[in-house]
Amino acid sequence: MQTKPFKIGTRGSPLALAQAHETRDRLMAVHGLPEEMFEIVILSTQGDRVQDRALSEIGGKGLFTYELEEQLSDGRLDFAVHSSKDMPTVLPEGLYLSAFLPREDVRDAFIGKAAPKLMEMPEGAMVGSASLRRQALIRKLRPDLNVKIFRGAVATRLRKLEEGEADATLLAYAGLRRLGMTDVPTEILDPELFPPAPAQGAICIESRVGDPRTDDLLKAINDQPTYDAVTCERGFLGTLDGSCRTPIAGHAKIDGGHIRFSGMILTPDGKEFHEVEIEGKAADAEKLGRMAGEKVRDKAGPTFFEGWG
């Protein structure tokens, strides 16, 4: 019987802490365990510390996970809680994504100061976003707008907006909902027009392969539809070598044992894009995601990803 507290690794932002607390609370409820059986360990990652440059310039998504994965690998942590869309498609040897919580809203939230809706923004207005996908989609829909890099935690980005560094910004609606900030968006963007990032809105738990005690703990809170959907989306991303250098959108919907996936790849300027749809059995989620990736890559041609960094 486990007598020492399970050590839960997390980043220190308010959103990361909200996600870690939700995970802990679900585990306490399902297993009937007291709060003292869980210790939340806050680690600073390089992605948190370097805020003045795009992720693609400083090493990509792994900058949000390296410190956590280091302590997972050597046993200082039992598991780590992440935003699934921050996870690289290739994990360190010996680690895996063992559980997903029920997915939140996948849509992007628009926060406009110059106008409440993206399509109503005045010509030449400045939109701040750190996401290449969001930047490319903005340029696709509104090539007359200017885009600048906008990084930082939710509060930081909202403060930058209030201080006039941009006329609008975009955030994941799921994060705002988890922070109790549903009054902040001025528009919730239609995912058909503004498709989400693969794995957006899903909290994942990373743990060690071959750790049955932790596996037994976590499997009780795994949400299978979310697991299948995100597995499909990450399969799509992995096939396209998805990183912070590539504007890629993807969303899988689960209906019973059936999965329907739609994806899009764009050039950073938003001028060229290719879409793909695929459906099949949810049990084949990863395979379907990879097939969709291969299909859209063939459609785009061999030169599509050249020169992106």
Is residue 184 domain-shared with residue 231, that is, in the same domain?
no
Query: Does residue 17 belong to any structural domain of this protein?
Result: yes
Is residue 294 domain-shared with residue 279, that is, in the same domain?
yes
Among residues 113, 200, 199, the alpha carbon closest in space to that of 160 is found at 113
Indicate the pLDDT class of residue 243, thresholds 50, 70 and 90. Answer: very low
Query: Does residue 197 belong to any structural domain of this protein?
Result: no
The secondary element (H helix, E strand) that includes residue 8 is strand 6-10
Tens digit of each residue's pLDDT (9 = 90 or more) over 151-170 = 788 999 999 999 999 999 99
Higher-confidence position of 94 and 44: 94
Provide the residue range defining the domain that includes 60: 1-101+202-222
Query: Does residue 133 belong to any structural domain of this protein?
Result: yes
Our count of domains for the chain comes to: 3
pLDDT at residue 45, as a whole number? 62
Q: What CATH number has the domain bearing residue 250?
A: 3.30.160.40
Tens digit of each residue's pLDDT (9 = 90 or more) over 163-205 = 999 999 999 999 999 999 999 999 999 999 999 999 999 999 9
**Catalytic residue flag (residue 86):** yes
pTM for the whole structure: 0.91
Among residues 148, 202, 204, 196, the alpha carbon closest in space to that of 171 is found at 196
Cα–Cα distance between 172 and 47 in angstroms, integer?
18
pLDDT at residue 244, as a whole number? 47
Among residues 11, 212, 207, the alpha carbon closest in space to that of 97 is found at 207
Indicate the pLDDT class of residue 20, thresholds 50, 70 and 90. Answer: very high
CA 33 to each of CA 38, 77, 204, 211, 217: distance values in angstroms, whole numbers, following the listed order: 9, 18, 21, 19, 11
Buried b (16+ CB within 10 A) or exposed e, 57-73: eeebbbbbbebbbebbe
Question: Would you say 276 and 262 are in contact if contact means Cβ atoms under 8 Å apart?
Answer: yes
Indicate the pLDDT class of residue 63, thresholds 50, 70 and 90. Answer: low
Q: What CATH number has the domain bearing residue 6?
A: 3.40.190.10
Is residue 75 domain-shared with residue 206, that is, in the same domain?
yes
Cα–Cα distance between 241 and 140 in angstroms, integer?
22
Is residue 244 domain-shared with residue 175, that is, in the same domain?
no
Catalytic residue among 25, 48, 52, 86: 86
Model confidence at 242: pLDDT above 90? no
Is residue 49 domain-shared with residue 124, that is, in the same domain?
no
Is residue 232 domain-shared with residue 248, that is, in the same domain?
yes
Q: Is 155 helix (H, G, I), strand (E, B) or coil?
A: helix
